């Protein structure tokens, strides 16, 4: 049953004319006439008959009219409620669960928690580690409110996932500040390849990453001496060794405030990546959820 047909029925009852009903609904007269024909067939009644006074309802139509009117009114009320504005952030008293790696924690947690302390002291936040193998279930079962992460294409296709970009990152080379390299902004390729490298591989296994794929196209290879899942551990490790690590620029700049690190440009072009705020579309009409995500996007988004 096409519920749109009942809107045509109600309009004809109100106006006593197919043409006027069509005009009130923004339809052409043939479209309204076609809708009436379909409804007649589905309900097994003429519903309206032509007369010199316009379209007159049959007895069945007269009996059905108040039932249809109540149903349409109820649907309109549902639509009105679904479009209700979000709740003021300052009025919220709720815990929200986030999934993110230590990269997103390092880049965003200070601004997020510091901002909420002022704008919404009733909100608390729980951060859980990023695990792609359980992410779909966690979202579907509503165990997670938001995911802050760069999602690989295979993960990005999660069902009913809404994504908004909050940062675009590029890569730099990071080493201990005390390392004796020429005072120039770009590390030379041979110097880059001669050093041992720390590979940060959150939520994945192996000793090869994005940089290794680029080097492979050049017929070159670097020596990965250690593969670890955490960015901040890598910063600590290179600050106390002769090894290098390739990091997102924004993280490297922040880490250099706390570790004795030196930042240099890479000797090869490497494409950057984006970090998004992700949530399940079933949360779109949750006014509290909407209020917080609007705050997050306004606080963190580059736009």
Q: Round to whole Å and give the CA distance between 107 and 274.
A: 13
Give the pLDDT score at 226.
93
Same fold: 89-168+274-300 with 171-271: yes
User: Model confidence over 144-200: pLDDT tens digits?
Assistant: 899 999 987 766 567 778 899 999 999 999 999 887 665 778 999 999 999 999 999
What is the second-level CATH architecture of the domain 89-168+274-300?
Answer: 3-Layer(aba) Sandwich (3.40)
As a whole number, the mean pLDDT across the chain is 87
pTM for the model? 0.68
DSSP state of 122: T
Tokens of 183: 């005072």
Indicate the SS3 state at residue 255. helix
Q: Is 6 exposed, middle or buried (0-12, 13-18, 19+ CB in 10 A)?
A: buried
- Please state which of the four CATH numbers 3.30.420.40, 3.30.70.3270, 3.65.10.10, 3.40.190.10 is assigned to the domain occupying 171-271: 3.40.190.10
Query: Residue ranges per domain, the chain?
Result: 4-82, 89-168+274-300, 171-271
4-82 is classed CATH 3.30.70.260: no
Give the pLDDT score at 262.
93
Q: What is the arithmetic mean of pLDDT over 27-44?
A: 89
Give the pLDDT score at 240.
94
Burial 85-105 (b: 16+ CB within 10 A, else e): ebbebeebeeebbbbbbbbbb
Give the pLDDT score at 182.
58
Give the pLDDT score at 206.
64
Match 């940060």 to its residue by tokens.
Answer: 200
Decide which of 207 and 144 is more confident.
Answer: 144
């Amino acid at each position: 049953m096409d519920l749109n047909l009942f809107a045509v029925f109600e309009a004809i009852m109100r106006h006593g004319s197919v043409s006027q009903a069509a005009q009130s609904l923004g339809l052409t007269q043939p479209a309204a006439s076609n809708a009436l024909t379909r409804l007649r067939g589905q309900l097994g009644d003429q519903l309206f008959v032509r007369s010199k006074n316009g379209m007159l309802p049959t007895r069945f139509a007269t009996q059905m009219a108040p039932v249809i009117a109540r149903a349409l009114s109820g649907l309109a009320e549902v639509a009105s409620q679904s479009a209700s504005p979000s709740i003021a952030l300052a009025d919220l008293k709720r815990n929200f669960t986030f999934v993110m790696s230590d990269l997103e924690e390092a880049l965003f947690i200070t601004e997020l928690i510091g901002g909420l302390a002022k704008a919404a002291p009733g909100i608390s936040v729980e951060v859980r580690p990023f695990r792609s193998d359980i992410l779909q279930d966690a979202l579907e079962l509503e165990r997670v409110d938001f995911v802050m992460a760069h999602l690989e294409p295979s993960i990005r296709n999660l069902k009913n996932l809404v994504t908004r970009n909050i940062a675009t990152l590029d890569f730099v080379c990071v080493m201990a500040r005390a390392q004796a390299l020429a005072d120039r902004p770009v590390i030379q390729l041979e110097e880059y390849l001669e050093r041992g490298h720390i590979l940060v591989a959150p939520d994945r296994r192996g000793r090869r990453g994005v940089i290794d794929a680029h080097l492979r196209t050049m017929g070159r290879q670097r020596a990965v001496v250690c593969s670890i899942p955490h960015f901040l551990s890598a910063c600590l490790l290179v600050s106390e060794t002769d090894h290098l690590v390739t990091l997102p620029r924004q993280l490297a700049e922040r880490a250099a405030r706390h570790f004795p690190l030196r930042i240099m440009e890479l000797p090869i072009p490497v494409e950057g990546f984006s970090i998004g705020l992700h949530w399940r579309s079933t949360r779109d009409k949750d006014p509290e959820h909407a209020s917080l995500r609007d705050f997050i996007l306004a606080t963190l988004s580059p736009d």
